[in-house]
Structure 1
Amino acid sequence: MTKAATKAAVGKTILVADDDLSVRTVLTQALKREGYEVLAADNGATLYQWVMEGRGDLVITDVMMPGENGLDLIPKIHRRAPDMRVIVISAQNALTTAVSASEKGALDYLAKPFDIDELLSVVKNALRRRPAGEQNNAGAAQEAAHVAAALDKSFVVGQSRAMQDIYRTIARLRSADLTVLMTGESGTGKEVVARAFHQFSRFKEGPFVAVNMAAIPRELIESELFGHEKGAFTGATQRHIGKFEQAAGGTLFLDEIGDMPLEAQTRLLRVLQEGEFTPVGARRHVKAQVRVIAATHQDLRARVRDGRFREDLYYRLNVVPLHVPPLRERTEDIPALVQHFLRQSGTLKVLEPAAMAVFRTHGWPGNVRELENAVRRLAALHTEDVIDASAAQSALSAAAIAGAAQADSAQSDIAAMVAQALSADAGLMAGTDVYGRIIRMVEKPLIVRMLAMTGGNQIKAAELLGLNRNTLRKKIRDLEIDVKKGGRS
Structure 2
Amino acid sequence: MSTSTEMHATAAAAPARLLVVDDDADLLRLLAMRLQATGYDVATADSVAAARSRLGVERFDLVVSDVRLPDGDGLALFEDIRRQHPALPVILLTAHGTIPDAVEATALGVAGYLTKPFDSQALLQGIRQALQRAGPTHARSGLRADAPGSAGDTAWRAAILSRSSRMQAVLDEARLVAAADASVLIRGDSGTGKELLARAIHLASPRAAAPFVAINCGAIPEPLLESELFGHVRGAFTGATSAHQGLVQAAHGGTLFLDEIGDMPPALQVKLLRVLQERAVRPVGATRAQAVDLRIVSATHRDLDAALAAGQFRADLYYRIDVVSLQLPTLAERREDIPLLAGHFLRSLAHKYGRRLTGFAPEALEALATAPWPGNVRQLHNVVEQACALATTALIPRALVERALRVQPAEALGYAEAKRRFERNYLIQLLKLTAGNVSDAARLAERNRTEFYRLLQRHDLTPELFRGAGPDVEQ
TM-score range, shorter chain: 0.5 to 0.7
What is the aligned counterpart of 1:396 among 402, 405, 421? 405
Aligned to 2:219: 215
Mapping of 1:451-462 within 5 angstroms? none
Determine which structure has the larger helix proportion and give its number.
1
Aligned to 1:343: 347
Retained in 2: the 8 A contact 1:349–1:384?
no
Q: CA deviation at 1:282?
A: 1.5
Q: Which amino acid aligns with 1:299?
A: D
Aligned to 1:295: 299
Retained in 1: the 8 A contact 2:233–2:240?
yes
- Residue deviations 1:358-408, cap 9 Å, x none? 011111111111110110111121011111222221222279xxxxxxxxx
Asked if 1:261 corresponds to 2:265, the answer is yes
Question: SS at the partner of 2:125?
Answer: coil
Report which structure shows greater RCO (CA 8 Å, sep ≥6): 2
Retained in 2: the 8 A contact 1:227–1:280?
yes
Aligned to 1:186: 190
Q: Which amino acid aligns with 2:405?
A: L
Aligned to 1:311: 315
Retained in 1: the 8 A contact 2:140–2:161?
no
Q: CA deviation at 1:67?
A: 6.2
Question: Structure 1: how far apart are the matches of 2:139 and 2:222?
Answer: 37
Q: Which amino acid aligns with 1:351?
A: F
1:207/1:222 CA distance change after superposition, 3 Å? same
Retained in 2: the 8 A contact 1:213–1:256?
yes
Aligned to 2:134: 90
Computing the radius of gyration from Cα coordinates, the structure with the larger value is: 2
Asked if 1:367 corresponds to 2:373, the answer is no
Q: Which amino acid aligns with 1:389?
A: R
- Residue deviations 1:148-191, cap 9 Å, x none? xx34xx5x222112210122122212321111101111111111
1:321/1:170 CA distance change after superposition, 3 Å? same
Question: SS at the partner of 1:215?
Answer: coil
Question: SS at the partner of 1:294?
Answer: strand
Aligned to 1:376: 385
- Residue deviations 1:37-94, cap 9 Å, x none? xxxx999xxxxxxxxxxxxxxxxxxxx962673599xxxxxxxxxxxxxxx5317854
- Where structure 2 has 5 or more consecutive residues not aligned to the other structure, the ranges are 1-89, 93-101, 115-122, 409-475
Q: CA deviation at 1:249?
A: 2.2
1:383/1:304 CA distance change after superposition, 3 Å? same
Question: Structure 2: how far apart are the matches of 1:351 and 1:68?
Answer: 29
Retained in 2: the 8 A contact 1:186–1:367?
yes
1:362/1:286 CA distance change after superposition, 3 Å? same
Q: CA deviation at 1:344?
A: 2.0
- Where structure 1 has 5 or more consecutive residues not aligned to the other structure, the ranges are 1-17, 27-40, 44-63, 73-87, 105-138, 400-489
Question: SS at the partner of 1:178?
Answer: coil
Q: CA deviation at 1:264?
A: 0.7
Question: Structure 2: how far apart are the matches of 1:249 and 1:95?
Answer: 32
Question: SS at the partner of 1:377?
Answer: helix
Tell me the TM-score normalised to structure 2 length.
0.56
Question: SS at the partner of 2:218?
Answer: helix
Tell me the TM-score normalised to structure 1 length.
0.55
Retained in 1: the 8 A contact 2:218–2:260?
yes
Aligned to 1:429: none
Mapping of 1:444-483 within 5 angstroms? none
1:249/1:373 CA distance change after superposition, 3 Å? same
What is the aligned counterpart of 1:205 among 194, 209, 232? 209
What is the aligned counterpart of 1:141 among 147, 150, 154? 150
Aligned to 2:396: 387
Q: Identity rate of aligned residues, in percent? A: 42
- Residue deviations 1:112-156, cap 9 Å, x none? xxxxxxxxxxxxxxxxxxxxxxxxxxx981331453xx34xx5x2
Retained in 2: the 8 A contact 1:94–1:167?
no
1:307/1:205 CA distance change after superposition, 3 Å? same
Retained in 2: the 8 A contact 1:253–1:293?
yes
Question: Structure 2: how far apart are the matches of 1:294 and 1:343?
Answer: 31
What is the aligned counterpart of 1:167 among 171, 176, 179? 171
Q: Which amino acid aligns with 2:392?
A: T
Asked if 1:245 corresponds to 2:249, the answer is yes
Give the count of matched residue pairs: 293
Asked if 1:69 corresponds to 2:128, the answer is yes
Retained in 2: the 8 A contact 1:19–1:66?
no
Question: Structure 2: how far apart are the matches of 1:70 and 1:190?
Answer: 32
Aligned to 1:357: 366
Retained in 2: the 8 A contact 1:19–1:65?
no
